[in-house]
Amino acid sequence: MINCIVIDDEPLAVEILEDFISKVPATQLVGKYTNALAALQQLENEEIDLLFLDIKMPDISGIDFFSSLKRKPAVIFTTAYQEYAVESYNLDAIDYLVKPIPFNRFLNAVGKAQEYITSTKNVKKEVNTSTARKFIFIKTEYKIVRIELDDILYIEGLKDYSKIYLKDNPKPIFTLQNLKSFETKFQADEFIRVHRSYIVSVSKINMICKNRVVIGQTDIPVSIGFRNNLLDVVHKNS
């Protein structure tokens, strides 16, 4: 179900959109306003999927209002003035409906919004699933072993295989996987590549020097090409 809010200073325009929304099973109206600023609290505190927003309003334009939002839902601009179309698309609007709005144009716009919202939610689910990963399975020496991500210190990539170094384990685990395959499994804020031959656990870094990181008693080289990515992650966790 797509949660919608309508903002338009004309009560009749609000009523028309309310009627249109009620006719589409996939949409539900959760808020309607003739004053944009009155909608701020709901937009900030609730998960709103789709905003129908008038552009030309007395206190603040719809474009300025939408630009000011910290949490931006998908937006369909509604207006009697066609000259704002380019500016609205610069804000990645789903669509731009010119009043009086025919129901078939409304349906078309909602269809595009539904496709966009569904794809966005699917991406978020994938990210959350990946973030929730706490372990990986590794093939090594004719068997498959489970490795907790929190146990990994760093991974060294060699020509045909990799070595995984674990805390409380003096010997690394050998596996016929390259570093690239590990990069696709890990979140960038948890593990980061610092050299063509090394991926390190961000949480296990004890110190960062000009061209190396220190994990425990081990110095790991940092190459110039990967240094900025490392610093970006450090700043996010500062």
| Residue 9 burial (10 A CB sphere; 0-12, 13-18, 19+) | middle
Calculate the average pLDDT of the chain. 87
In the chain, where are the structural domains located? Answer: 2-131, 135-236
Q: How many Cα atoms occupy the beta-carbon half-sphere of 58 within 13 Å?
A: 4
For the record, the structure tokens of 53 come out as 């927003």
For the stretch 26-53, pLDDT in tens is 999 999 999 999 999 999 899 999 999 9
Select the CATH number that applies to the domain covering 135-236 from these four: 2.40.30.10, 1.10.3720.10, 3.30.200.20, 2.40.50.1020. 2.40.50.1020
pLDDT band for 228, please (50, 70, 90 cuts): confident
**CA–CA separation, 106 and 177 (whole Å):** 51
Q: What's CA 196's distance to the chain center, in Å? A: 27
**CA–CA separation, 156 and 165 (whole Å):** 8
Mean pLDDT, residues 172-201 taken together:
86
Mean pLDDT, residues 59-71 taken together:
89
CATH architecture of the domain 2-131 equals 3-Layer(aba) Sandwich (3.40)
Cβ 155 vs Cβ 162: under 8 Å: yes
Cβ 41 vs Cβ 33: under 8 Å: no
Q: How many CB atoms lie within 10 A of CB 123?
A: 10
**CA–CA separation, 191 and 137 (whole Å):** 16
Nearest CA among 172, 203, 176 for reference residue 190 = 203
